C-alpha cells in the first residue's frame, strides 16, 4: 500500500492521540504548547520549548499542504524539496507532498548554497520549502533557482524572496485530495554520494517506503504503547525509516533538537521513551557523562526504556559492553543500510544476537544478501567480497544517471560498495569500504570536495584526504599535504585556511608529506592509510 494510507489509518483510529512531540532544549523560555496554541501566538512570543500534535492534526496539516501544492499546479510526478531542521512541520509537509502524487525531495541541512542549487536542479524540483536556518544560503541562489520554481518559507519572519507557508496553508482545505496512489508510484528522491563530489539522486517508489515500515516493526516489535526518540535529521533515510516503525504502529515519537547527554536522558525520562536510536558519538558521550558522574541514572525515570540501537557506522564491541554495565536490561540492535536500500534494515544484528556484536548481522526482514567477487560470483564463506542486497526497498535508479545506475544495480541486486565476509555462523562482518567515503559521527565526508578546497591554497602542490580511526566519531578526516617547492606551510596556517569550510568538513589532523601516486596518476590512499592509521594509533596510546 502507499505509505500515505498508514497516516490516514492512524488519523481514523487514533485521531486524538499525540503522535509527534518536538523538544528544543536550547530555547530559554520553557513553554509547552499544542500546535493550535502555537498558531495563535504572535511571532515574537514563539520561543516554545515543547510542541505536540495529534494524528488527526498531522493528517489535516498534510492535507492542507497537499491542496496548496495542487492549487499551485503541482501534479503527479512533480518534485518538492524540503530543506528544514527537525521540527513539527517536517513530516506533515513530507506527507502532504506524497498525497499529491508528487515526489518529496529531502535535502541535507549541511549543504552549502552551491550544493543546494545542484540538488534542486538535478532532481528537477518545482517548489523548495525551507526554514529560518537556511535564509542566507537560499538567498545566495534565490535569483537563479526561483526563475523556474517557487520558494515556500516555514517559520517566523518570512524573507521577501519567499512565500509564507503558514499563511498559505491557513485557508486551504483539510480534506484529503482525490489523488489515486499505488505501490508502483514514485514517492521520494534522497541524496547520496561517492567520493567524486556532489551527490547522486536516489529514486524510490511507495513500495520501498512501506516496506521499510514493515522492516522496522518486524525488527524492533513496535506497538502502540512504544515511544520513539528521534534525534538524527529527518532528511536522512535512517531517521525517517526508523520513525516509520511509529507510523505503522500508531505510536508516539519525540523529535529532540539536541544531542547533549543530559537532553537525551531528560527526554527519555519526561516523555517515557521506550526506543532510542543513537549514533556512536552520542552513546559514547552518555557513557562518559555517567562515568564522570556529571549525569546520574537515578536522576531520571528510565525503567521504561527497553531498546537502544545504533546505525550509520561500525559499532565498537567495547561500547556495547560498556553500555550494558549501566543498562543491563536493555535490548540492543545494530542496523546496516544505505539510502539506495531505503536506509536501515537490509542487514541487522537482531536483539537476540548480542553475542555477535562486531558483526552487522544477517539479512533483514524481506531482504536477501550475498557476498560477491568482481565478476559477480558469490565467494566462499569466510572470503572477502562486495556485499550485495536485494529486496522491495532497493532503489528504482539513480535519477537522471543511467551510467551510475547500471554500475550499481544488477538483476535487482544492489552492489553496496562495502567489502564484507560471512563468518561460520552466517553473520556478516564489514571489512572495508570499496569507496573512499569517510563516515564521521554518522555523516559522510567526501575527500575530493575537501581536497579540491585545500588545493586552492597558493602554497599547496598536492593533497590527499583519508579517514583515520577515532574512538568517538568512528573516523576523522586527515589531510596529507605536499607543499610547493620552496614554499612553507604550517598546521596552524592550514587550520585557519580551512575555517572557510563547513565545520564538519574540516580536517581534524594535518600532515605534511609527499603524496604517493601510482603509474596511472592515482593517489595511493591505501599506502597513506597504513602509514597514518598506525601513527594515529601510537599517538592515541601515548595520550592514554
Q: What is the pLDDT of residues 524-537, one digit of tens each?
A: 887 888 888 766 55
**CA–CA separation, 470 and 522 (whole Å):** 26
Q: What is the pLDDT of residues 484-514, one digit of tens each?
A: 878 899 999 999 999 999 888 999 999 999 9
Q: Give the list of residues 6+ apart from residue 407 with CB closer than 8 angstroms, or none.
A: 415
**CA–CA separation, 264 and 282 (whole Å):** 9
Q: How far apart are the first and last CA of the chain?
A: 54
Highest CATH level, class, for 438-543: alpha beta
- The H or E element that residue 50 is part of is strand 50-54
Q: What pLDDT shows up at residue 222? A: 96
Q: Give the list of residues 6+ apart from residue 413 with CB closer than 8 angstroms, or none.
A: 370, 388, 389, 390, 394
What integer is the mean pLDDT of 416-420? 87
**CA–CA separation, 185 and 207 (whole Å):** 8
The SS3 of residue 332 is strand
Residue 195 has pLDDT above 50, yes or no: no
Q: What pLDDT shows up at residue 225? A: 97
**CA–CA separation, 107 and 116 (whole Å):** 7
**CA–CA separation, 144 and 147 (whole Å):** 6
Which of these ranges, 19-33, 123-137, 494-508, 513-527, has the smallest mean pLDDT?
513-527
Enter the DSSP assignment of 396.
S
Give start-end residues of each CATH 3.30.300.30 domain in the chain. Answer: 438-543
Residue 315 has pLDDT above 80, yes or no: no
Residue 79 has pLDDT above 60, yes or no: yes
More confident residue, 448 or 41: 448
Q: What pLDDT shows up at residue 126? A: 97
* Listed residue (316, 313, 278) closest to 443, CA to CA: 313
Q: What pLDDT shows up at residue 312? A: 67
Q: What pLDDT shows up at residue 258? A: 92
Cell of 345: 534494515
Q: What pLDDT shows up at residue 541? A: 43
Which of the four pLDDT bands, split at 50, 70 and 90, describes residue 196?
very low
Residue 125 has pLDDT above 50, yes or no: yes
Q: What pLDDT shows up at residue 197? A: 58
Residue 538 has pLDDT above 50, yes or no: no
Which of the four pLDDT bands, split at 50, 70 and 90, describes residue 439?
confident
**CA–CA separation, 81 and 83 (whole Å):** 7
**CA–CA separation, 345 and 336 (whole Å):** 6
Q: Are 532 and 478 in contact (CB under 8 A)?
A: yes
* Listed residue (61, 123, 232) closest to 69, CA to CA: 61
More confident residue, 446 or 248: 248
Q: What percent of the chain has pLDDT over 70?
A: 91
Q: What is the pLDDT of residues 157-175, one digit of tens each?
A: 999 999 999 999 999 999 9
Give start-end residues of each CATH 3.40.50.12780 domain in the chain. Answer: 4-299
**CA–CA separation, 106 and 128 (whole Å):** 10
Q: What is the mean pLDDT of the chain?
A: 90
What integer is the mean pLDDT of 224-242? 93
Q: What are phi and psi of 409, to 5 degrees?
A: -105, 130
Which of these ranges, 2-11, 63-72, 143-152, 406-415, has the smallest mean pLDDT?
143-152
Contacts 24+ apart (CB under 8 A), 45-50: 46/156, 48/24, 49/23, 49/24, 49/25, 50/21, 50/22, 50/23, 50/24
What integer is the mean pLDDT of 83-107? 97
In order of 136, 216, 289, 414, the CA distances from 437 in angstroms are 28, 26, 30, 18
Q: Are 24 and 257 in contact (CB under 8 A)?
A: yes
**CA–CA separation, 112 and 454 (whole Å):** 17
- pTM reported for the whole predicted model: 0.82
Q: In what order do the strands lie in the sheet with 150-153?
A: 163-164, 150-153, 127-130, 79-83, 103-106, 186-192, 200-205, 397-398
Which of these ranges, 289-303, 327-341, 507-521, has the smallest mean pLDDT?
507-521
What integer is the mean pLDDT of 320-328? 94
Q: What pLDDT shows up at residue 313? A: 65
Residue 314 has pLDDT above 80, yes or no: no
The CATH code belonging to domain 4-299 is 3.40.50.12780
Amino acid at each position: 500500500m502507499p505509505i500515505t494510507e498508514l497516516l490516514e489509518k492512524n488519523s481514523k483510529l487514533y485521531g486524538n492521540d499525540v503522535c509527534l512531540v518536538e523538544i528544543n532544549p536550547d530555547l530559554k523560555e520553557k513553554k509547552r504548547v499544542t500546535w493550535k496554541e502555537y498558531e495563535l501566538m504572535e511571532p515574537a512570543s514563539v520561543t516554545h520549548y515543547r510542541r505536540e500534535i495529534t494524528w488527526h492534526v498531522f493528517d489535516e496539516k498534510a492535507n492542507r499542504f497537499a491542496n496548496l501544492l495542487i492549487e499551485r499546479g503541482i501534479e503527479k510526478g512533480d518534485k518538492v524539496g524540503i530543506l528544514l531542521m527537525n521540527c513539527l512541520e517536517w513530516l506533515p509537509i513530507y506527507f502532504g507532498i506524497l498525497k499529491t502524487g508528487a515526489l518529496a525531495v529531502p535535502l541535507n541541512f549541511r549543504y552549502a548554497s552551491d550544493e543546494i542549487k545542484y540538488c534542486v536542479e538535478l532532481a528537477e524540483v518545482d517548489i523548495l520549502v525551507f526554514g529560518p536556518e537556511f535564509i542566507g544560503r537560499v538567498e545566495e541562489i534565490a535569483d537563479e533557482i526561483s526563475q523556474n520554481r517557487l520558494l515556500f518559507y516555514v517559520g517566523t519572519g518570512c524573507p521577501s524572496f519567499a512565500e509564507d507557508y503558514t499563511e498559505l496553508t491557513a485557508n486551504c482545505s483539510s480534506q484529503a485530495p482525490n489523488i489515486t496512489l499505488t505501490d508502483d508510484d514514485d514517492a521520494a528522491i534522497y541524496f547520496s554520494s561517492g567520493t567524486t563530489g556532489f551527490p547522486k539522486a536516489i529514486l524510490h517508489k511507495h513500495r520501498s517506503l512501506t516496506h521499510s515500515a514493515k522492516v522496522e516493526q518486524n525488527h524492533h516489535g513496535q506497538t502502540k504503547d512504544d515511544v520513539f526518540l528521534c534525534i538524527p535529521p529527518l532528511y536522512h533515510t535512517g531517521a525517517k525509516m526508523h520513525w516509520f516503525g511509529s507510523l505503522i504502529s500508531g505510536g508516539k515519537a519525540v523529535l529532540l533538537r539536541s544531542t547533549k547527554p543530559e537532553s537525551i536522558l531528560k527526554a527519555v525520562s519526561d516523555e517515557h521513551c521506550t526506543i532510542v536510536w543513537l549514533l556512536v558519538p552520542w552513546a559514547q558521550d552518555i557513557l562518559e557523562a555517567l562515568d564522570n558522574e556529571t549525569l546520574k541514572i537515578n536522576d531520571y525515570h528510565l525503567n521504561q526504556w527497553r531498546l537502544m540501537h545504533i546505525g550509520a557506522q561500525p559499532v565498537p564491541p567495547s561500547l556495547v559492553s560498556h553500555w550494558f554495565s549501566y543498562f543491563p536490561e536493555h535490548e540492543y540492535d545494530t542496523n546496516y543500510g544505505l539510502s539506495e536500500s531505503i536506509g536501515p534494515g537490509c542487514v541487522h544484528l537482531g536483539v537476540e544476537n548480542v553475542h555477535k556484536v562486531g558483526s552487522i548481522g544477517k539479512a533483514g526482514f524481506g531482504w536477501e544478501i550475498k557476498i560477491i567477487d568482481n565478476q559477480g560470483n558469490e565467494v566462499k564463506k569466510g572470503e572477502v567480497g562486495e556485499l550485495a542486497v536485494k529486496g522491495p526497498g532497493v532503489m528504482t535508479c539513480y535519477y537522471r544517471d543511467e551510467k551510475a545506475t547500471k554500475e550499481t544495480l544488477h538483476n535487482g541486486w544492489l552492489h553496496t560498495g562495502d567489502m564484507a565476509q560471512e563468518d561460520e555462523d552466517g553473520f556478516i562482518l564489514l571489512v572495508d569500504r570499496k569507496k573512499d567515503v569517510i563516515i564521521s559521527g554518522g555523516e559522510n565526508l567526501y575527500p575530493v570536495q575537501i581536497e579540491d578546497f585545500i588545493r586552492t591554497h597558493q602554497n599547496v602542490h598536492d593533497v590527499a584526504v583519508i579517514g583515520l580511526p577515532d574512538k568517538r566519531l568512528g573516523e576523522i578526516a586527515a589531510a596529507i599535504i605536499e607543499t610547493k617547492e620552496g614554499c612553507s606551510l604550517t598546521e596552524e596556517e592550514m587550520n585557519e585556511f580551512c575555517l572557510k569550510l563547513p565545520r564538519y568538513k574540516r580536517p581534524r589532523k594535518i600532515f605534511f608529506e609527499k603524496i604517493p601516486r601510482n603509474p596511472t596518476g592515482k593517489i595511493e590512499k591505501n599506502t597513506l592509510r597504513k602509514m597514518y592509521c598506525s601513527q594515529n594509533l601510537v599517538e592515541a596510546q601515548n595520550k592514554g
